Structure 1
């Protein structure tokens, strides 16, 4: 274990490894970045703020990947739906009109109620990653999403690092 911690502490390996793991952890892949952050901070405690910044940046960019996947899926679904509606309208000799389903109406009300601040929970296990994808699907404002995601993810990494520092601090 000490060998792994020493390897992660190398300036050329530690922070890039933390960045990559943080980015991957924020996508729908089942990986965690916390062990890498803790290992890095145990090995190199003087780089506390740099490690927090790198982990936050990587995790926020990973959340934006999920946001982009949601936005892209929304666009593809919209094009498929429009084509299907036009085909049905041609078949029925009718004018295609958008349909507001009850589920879509509820989603729109939810977005109006919570909006981008809901992404403060983007750090949360299980729901955080899909929340970023849903934000993209619902076309929440991009830069607001970035800010709220980054704040939430920074808070998580700061809390983890603070708990680590508090538990191993010399008495």
Structure 2
């Protein structure tokens, strides 16, 4: 179950961090209680998948901005995310872990071309902190 659990958690975390819904937090909590894998191994797998997914979403925003001019999106969550990123810049990506608005934040940051390395660092910090809190709460 070790490799399957880690890869499954990685994949679930990756999917959860793109524009598609997922349940990686529930899977992490389950594996923390039912698996022989260490909390550190599980945290690394979840954080790595989620950071990679956020990076992909940021990249999609970057790519989209080169194809279509920036205009206010019609989707409410995307509009909120764009306003937040325009106001606070890459710092808003510390909240990329939040449900519903987190993924659009990554997309908006890429779209308006926030500083790449700073953005990716803040995406990873926010997402890793979220999974760290889950590990602490369940362990």
- Which interval holds the TM-score relative to the shorter structure? 0.7 to 0.9
Unaligned 5+ runs, structure 2: 73-81
Deviation at 1:54, TM superposition (A): 1.1
Deviation at 1:159, TM superposition (A): 0.7
* Inter-partner Cα distance in structure 2 for 1:128 and 1:108: 13
* Inter-partner Cα distance in structure 2 for 1:22 and 1:62: 8
Alignment correspondent of 1:132: 106
* Inter-partner Cα distance in structure 2 for 1:45 and 1:55: 16
1:160 aligns with 2:134: yes
- Partner residue of 1:72 out of 50, 59, 63: 63
* Inter-partner Cα distance in structure 2 for 1:50 and 1:119: 25
Q: For residues 76 and 51 of structure 1, do their structure 2 counterparts lie closer, same or farther at Cα, with a shift above 3 Å needed?
A: same
Q: 3-state DSSP class of the match of 1:37? A: helix
Deviation at 1:12, TM superposition (A): 2.1
Q: 3-state DSSP class of the match of 2:93? A: helix
Deviation at 1:46, TM superposition (A): 5.3
Deviation per residue, 1:26-54 (Å, 9 max, x gap): 01101121111111111236510111111
Q: Indicate the RMSD between aligned Cα atoms, in angstroms.
A: 2.2
Q: For residues 141 and 44 of structure 1, do their structure 2 counterparts lie closer, same or farther at Cα, with a shift above 3 Å needed?
A: same
Following superposition, which runs of at least 4 residues in structure 1 exceed 4 angstroms of deviation? 107-110
Alignment correspondent of 1:86: none
1:37 aligns with 2:28: yes
128-137 or 42-51: bigger deviation? 42-51
Alignment correspondent of 1:148: 122
Unaligned 5+ runs, structure 1: 1-9, 82-100, 166-171
